[in-house]
Amino acid sequence: MGTLSSAAVAAKKSSLTPKAIISQKFGSKASYKVDEVEESFPNECPGLAIRQKGRCLYRCHLQLPELSVVSGTFTRKKDAEQAAAEKAIEMLGIHVKENNPTEEEAWDELVDRLAYLFSSEFLSSGHPLSGHFRAVLKRKGHLNGCIPISVMAMYDAKLTNLCKHINPEVESNPLGITSIILSAAEKLSGSLLPLEDHLSLKRQSPHPPDVLQSVENCESTLLESFEIQAIRIPSSVNETIETLVLNLSSASYYLDVIAEALGVTEASRVQVSRTIGKASSEIRLYFCPKQQLLDQSLEPLEVHRVQLQGSLNVRASYFAGQEVYGDAILASVGYVWKSANLFHEDLSMRTYYRLLINKIPSGVYKLSREAIFVAELPMAFTTRSNWRGFFPREILYTFCRQHRLAEPVFCIRNSSLGTSTDPHGTCKKLKVTEPIEEGKKSPVLAAAGGGESDGLTGDFQCEVKIFSKCQDLILQFLSTKAYKKQTDAVQNAALKVLLWLNLFFSESNISSEKLSSNAKELGIQFYSEYFLKEFNICSLVHDFWMSFATVEDGLLDHKHMKANDDMLENGVFSLNMGGQASGVNPSSGSLVCIGYTSCLVTEGGMKEHLESNEEFEFEMGIGAVVPYIEGILTQLSVGQSACFGAELPPLEFILAAADDSPTTISLLSSGKCSLEHTITLLRVTEPLEDRMEQALFSPPLSKQRVEYALQHIQESHALSMIDFGCGSGSLLDSLLDYPTSLEKIVGVDISQKSLARAAKMLHSKLNSKLDYKVSSNRIKSAVLYDGSITNFDSRLCGFDIGTCLEVIEHMEEQEASLFGDVVLSSFCPRILIISTPNYEYNVILQKSAPQNQEEDPDEKNQSQAYKFRNHDHKFEWTRAQFCDWATDLSRRHNYSVEFSGVGGAGDVEPGFASQIAVFRRKEENPKSVEMAHHCKVIWEWSEGDRSKSAL
């Protein structure tokens, strides 16, 4: 029956059961299965086939992503489970954090662990390190059975953790581990022998013959040899990175082969990095620092920094996140859990460059979307259902792992509880290893106030902290905004941090002032001393980057290829558009689906395919694609295509996409090159607001708002009208289709893109005399201004009617109030119509809107709060909120106000879909105003223009 091992003792001390530790680490990925087994007693009389019937016992199988274990047999199910968990903890070498052994205990445990690693039992444990122990049995001569200490340290987490306990400094000086392990080995001097150079250890006496036999049997008996392709990264940046072939064989130890390729005698001279890239990969760097031999006369605990010789290999150091000296080899090879055979795979130059760009946040995102030339890390996390690719939180985890930082810590604050009721703050630490799921609230958060918002304002704020491996706080961010959903708070916070980190990586030689000012803008606090300590190598790489590109491929010129003759504003050239216009255009907030192909083209017309995607979906307006692509798309309608040239992105991006980098490199060095994109706009899905406005109301809500405004214009016989926040001019456009008394129309907005569309449309409509509808109006002048409606401009004063439809909710509440004051105290239109969504109506919209099916049903059930209708909305008010706001304004500025709306009915709950306030000025003549201009005239038209263009 099972006995308690040292891991169980350790776990006991920590007050966490083995199962709890496993659950902390693996959550639902750990599955326990308990079998009943019958106790059988050893048969004492071999001649008689008598089996006594025994008690019923239990044995537990624990399946984890990395391994599975089987417990011994126990009389209680519970014990079997704990024993299985305990065994897994032991095998995984999980360091039980809460357990703080004294230094003496740590030494004892270290000695025990070492004894276990060298035991015959360990050889068949399935631990990756056991593969090395088996392989070194095949080494020839005096190296037979010798295992490099660095290998033990790298592949056994438990050993390393114990060393860190004994001396925390080894975290930054891995070579210190060697001297600690040697000292521990001394205590086992009867059974372990150090080699004369003290870099390897071996058993004093060989394993028993039956053990050796079974080791041989468990591997394939065929003598196999195989070649793998690896990458050589020379330490001198003047030398090219290239592929090399390693000839491995089942009759030798692969680290000896790598040692030879690095020009040293044997495996113990080779340093192995931790894995690079995905957590599950076996890609590592191998290098051999020329190091002074450890001085035996030194006290073992005096871990001294061993003098390393050879020059710093900047490129390799950047990869490994540790200092690498001398030439390095990047290879994907190693022993994995529960496999007797050596895992190995080829690495290509493309893999090398993909690993390289995977170190930066935008690179992680691009790779997650398989769209290196098109995707960009978006600037905003709008809704979960619109985001594609890895989520910000996931990217931040990846980033921290890649850079050897501790896992990021997320904290949720529930602001609705208020800090007054909880002087210690309501900040609760989320279990950082578990994804935060909408549906299943973590118990901690549930305790923090039910996690439910009152539905009006967001309650969740998220704080992110990033620590170094040594637990120094590097960076901290607390969102100023509160979100209605935890996920949104977490993802947005992670994204902010990523955007800032990305800035550091994408701009080489960024000044610390710029970093600081950007951090300030985003609300990020970073501790530059620790930050620079951790990212020192990254900045070194920046310094070398230019010389790297120049020397390696002679490509420097191409990175800075300057404006072509026909270069368009956004950096693209030779634009060709084709296909039938369908009239369906993408706009901000739309989900857009494109198909594209990106090629490398030389001036001489040579072309090489780099990347293509049949369907690539993203949200417009949040920077989810490179800016020029979004620019082109606003000019296309569904079904149309565009082909155009663009400047080359940085070299590493090109080579990360290229299938065949030698060809690509030769093309790149053959002359001026550029990218050629061919893009087809396949689909456009309107944002929630537009979709629901179209689907639920007839005529559509937007049309109803226009009609509402029209009615007031006609009733008031207004001569002049101003549309505050006119957008792309939908109201002005529609007005021209009706006969009105209007002679002067003006639109103001801050979106130049929208204004450009408005200008295009108004221009063609006002100038076409043939249009009978247009000719029926009396418009004499029209102006479009670019400027904020919260700022005073005398040209916006004194209109008969002002409209501001579905605009205020796009501003922060403070700004909306500012606008209210400016418009009623200074612009003083005789009538002002303001519309904004009625938040209470969302319950209807979101129950009936067809897109609800796409969404996670848990999300809806969990929260009474409804989404805003459009991701750009900063608030959506209830009727009471809007009424308070408008009533207060009208009183203060001597206006009257009436409430109404469109969509639905005012006297039926929950009121109109769009609520409207109509303000009427009480004074006949408003006070005169001073001249002041801040708006920019974007487009202007007067009646004369029409006759001119008619000629």
Q: Given the rule CB under 6 A, which residues bind ligand SAH?
A: 725-727, 730-731, 748-751, 754, 788-790, 805-807, 810-811
**Angstrom distance (rounded) from CA 364 to CA 671:** 30
The footprint of Mg ion on this chain (CB under 5 A) covers a number of residues equal to 1
Toward Mg ion, which CB reaches closer, 542 or 867?
867
Of 740 and 803, CB closest to Mg ion: 803
The smaller minimum CB distance to Mg ion, of residues 266 and 806, is found at 806
User: Of 135, 157, 172, 163, whose CA–CA distance to 266 is shortest?
Assistant: 135
Minimal distance in Å, beta carbon 805 to Mg ion? 9
The CA distance from 504 to 516, in Å, is 11
Q: Which does 71 bind (CB under 5 to 8 A by kind): ligand SAH, Mg ion, none?
A: none
Between 514 and 933, name the residue whose CB sits nearer to ligand SAH.
Answer: 933
Please state the closest distance from residue 819 (CB atom) to ligand SAH, in A.
7
User: What residue number has its CB nearest to ligand SAH?
Assistant: 727
In whole angstroms, the minimum distance from the beta carbon of 715 to ligand SAH comes to 20
First to last CA, the chain: 104
**227 and 247 in contact (C-beta within 8 Å)?**
yes
Residue reference for tokens 């372990």: 192
Q: Which one of Mg ion, ligand SAH, none interacts with residue 788, CB within 5 to 8 A by kind?
A: ligand SAH
Phi-psi region of 563 (alpha: psi -120 to 50; beta: other; left: phi over 0): beta
376 lines the binding site for Mg ion (CB under 5 A): no
Task: Return the structure tokens found at 870.
Answer: 């459009």
Name every residue whose Cβ is closer than 8 Å to that of residue 44 and which is 6 or more positions away in sequence. Answer: none
The two three-digit tokens of residue 634, written as one number: 């606003």
Options 263-271, 312-320, 512-520, 805-813: segment touching Mg ion (CB under 5 A): 805-813
Q: Does 749 bind Mg ion (CB under 5 A)?
A: no
727, interface contact from ligand SAH, Mg ion, none, CB < 5-8 Å by kind: ligand SAH
In the complex, the smallest distance separating the C-beta of residue 809 from Mg ion, rounded to whole angstroms, is 5
652 contact choice in ligand SAH, Mg ion, none (CB below 5 to 8 Å, kind-dependent): none
Q: CA-CA-CA-CA torsion for 350, 355, 357, 363, nearest 10 degrees?
A: 110
**Separation CA 128–CA 206 (nearest Å):** 21
Q: Which is nearer to ligand SAH, 118 or 724 (CB)?
A: 724
Q: How far is the CB of 827 from ligand SAH (least distance, A)?
A: 13
Residue 552's binding partner, choosing from ligand SAH, Mg ion, none, with beta-carbon cut-off 5 to 8 A by kind? none
749 interface partner picked from ligand SAH, Mg ion, none, CB below 5 to 8 A per type: ligand SAH
In the complex, which residue's CB is closest to Mg ion? 806
- Single out the segment in contact with Mg ion by CB under 5 A; choices: 119-127, 536-544, 732-740, 804-812: 804-812
User: What mask of x and - would describe binding to Mg ion in positions 312 to 351, judged by CB under 5 A?
Assistant: ----------------------------------------
Q: How far is the CB of 938 from ligand SAH (least distance, A)?
A: 12
**Can you spell out the DSSP letters for 398-445?**
HHHHHTTBPPPEEEEEEGGGTTTS-TT-S-EE--TTSPPPSSS--HHH
User: Of these partners, Mg ion, ligand SAH, none, which one is at the site of residue 156 (CB under 5 to 8 Å by kind)?
Assistant: none
Instruction: Closer to Mg ion by CB, 81 or 806: give it.
Output: 806
For 176, phi then psi, to 5°, come to: -60, -30
Q: Which residues contact 335 (CB under 8 A, 6 or more apart)?
A: 128, 129, 130, 131, 132, 135, 155, 342, 343
Q: Does the N-terminal peptide bond of residue 699 adopt cis geometry, omega within 30 degrees of 0?
A: yes
622 binds, among Mg ion, ligand SAH, none (CB under 5 to 8 A by kind): none
**Considering beta carbons, is residue 177 or 688 the nearer one to ligand SAH?**
688
Question: Closest separation between CB of residue 625 and ligand SAH, Å?
Answer: 21
Q: Residue 2 or residue 589: which is nearer to ligand SAH going by CB?
A: 589
Q: State the amino acid at position 587 in one-letter form.
A: S
- In this complex, which beta carbon is closest to Mg ion, that of residue 125 or of residue 585? 585
Pinpoint the alpha helices (H) of 568-670. Answer: 627-633, 651-657, 661-669
Calculate the alpha carbon distances from 210 to 1, 213, 338 in Å. Answer: 25, 5, 21
Q: How far apart are CA 917 and CA 911, in angstroms?
A: 14
Q: Which one-letter amino acid corresponds to residue 538?
A: C
Q: Taking the CB of residue 102, how many other CB atoms lie within 10 A of it?
A: 9
The residue among 700 and 798 lying less far from ligand SAH, judged by its C-beta, is 700
Helix axis angle, 175-186 relative to 103-117, nearest 10°?
80
Report in angstroms how near the CB of residue 514 gets to Mg ion at its nearest: 34
Told to check if 876 binds Mg ion by CB under 5 A, we report no
d(CA 877, CA 438): 25
Answer for the pair 267, 148: CB distance below 8 angstroms, yes or no: yes
In the list Mg ion, ligand SAH, none, the entry touching 334 (Cβ below 5 to 8 angstroms by class) is none
Nearer of residues 178 and 730 to Mg ion, judged by Cβ: 730
Q: Which does 550 bind (CB under 5 to 8 A by kind): ligand SAH, Mg ion, none?
A: none
Instruction: From the list Mg ion, ligand SAH, none, pick the one residue 128 interacts with, judged by a Cβ distance below 5 to 8 Å according to partner type.
Output: none
State the Cα–Cα distance between residues 474 and 469, nearest whole angstrom: 10
Instruction: Work out what residue 685 binds among Mg ion, ligand SAH, none; the CB cut-off runs from 5 to 8 Å by kind.
Output: none
Q: How far is the CB of 33 from Mg ion (least distance, A)?
A: 54
- Taking the least distance from each CB to ligand SAH, the nearer of 608 and 693 is 693
Cβ closest to ligand SAH, residue 675 vs residue 902: 902
**Residue 806 interacting with Mg ion (CB under 5 A):** yes
Shortest separation between residue 866's beta carbon and Mg ion, angstroms: 15
Q: Of 57 and 833, which CB lies nearer to ligand SAH in the complex structure?
A: 833
CA 770 to chain centre: 54
- For residue 933, which phi and psi values (nearest 5 degrees)? -120, 125
Q: How far is the CB of 869 from Mg ion (least distance, A)?
A: 7
Among 373, 427, 365, residue whose Cα is nearest residue 396: 365
Rounded (10°) angle between helices 18-26 and 77-92: 60
Considering the rule CB under 5 A, would residue 686 count as an interface residue with Mg ion? no
β pairing state of 831-837 and 225-233: unpaired
Per-residue tokens: 122: 């360990």
The 10 Å CB-count burial string (b at 16+, else e) for 766-798 is bbeeeeeebeebebbbbbbbbbbbbebbbbbbb
CB of 810 to ligand SAH, least distance (A): 4
- Shortest Cβ 378–ligand SAH spacing (Å): 19
Q: How far apart are CA 328 and CA 320, in angstroms?
A: 10
Query: CB of 457: closest distance to Mg ion in angstroms?
Result: 18
Which of ligand SAH, Mg ion, none does residue 282 bind (CB under 5 to 8 Å by kind)? none
Residue 703 structure tokens: 């049309």
Nearest distance, CB of residue 826 and ligand SAH, angstroms: 15
Q: CA–CA separation, 475 vs 498, rounded Å?
A: 11
Would you call the peptide bond into 910 cis, given omega within 30 degrees of 0 as the criterion? Answer: yes
60 binds, among ligand SAH, Mg ion, none (CB under 5 to 8 A by kind): none
For ligand SAH, the closer CB: 177 or 706: 706
Instruction: State the minimum distance, in angstroms, from the CB of residue 750 to ligand SAH.
Output: 4
In the list ligand SAH, Mg ion, none, the entry touching 178 (Cβ below 5 to 8 angstroms by class) is none
Q: List the alpha helices (DSSP H) in 280-322.
A: 314-320
Asked if 434 contacts 27 with a C-beta cutoff of 8 angstroms, the reply is: yes
The DSSP bridge pattern shows strands 744-749 and 781-786 to be: parallel
> CA 904 to CA 766: how far, in whole Å?
34
CB of 727 to ligand SAH, least distance (A): 3
Stretch of 33-41, 345-353, 742-750, 800-808 lying at the interface with Mg ion (CB under 5 A): 800-808
Binding residues for Mg ion, per CB under 5 A?
806
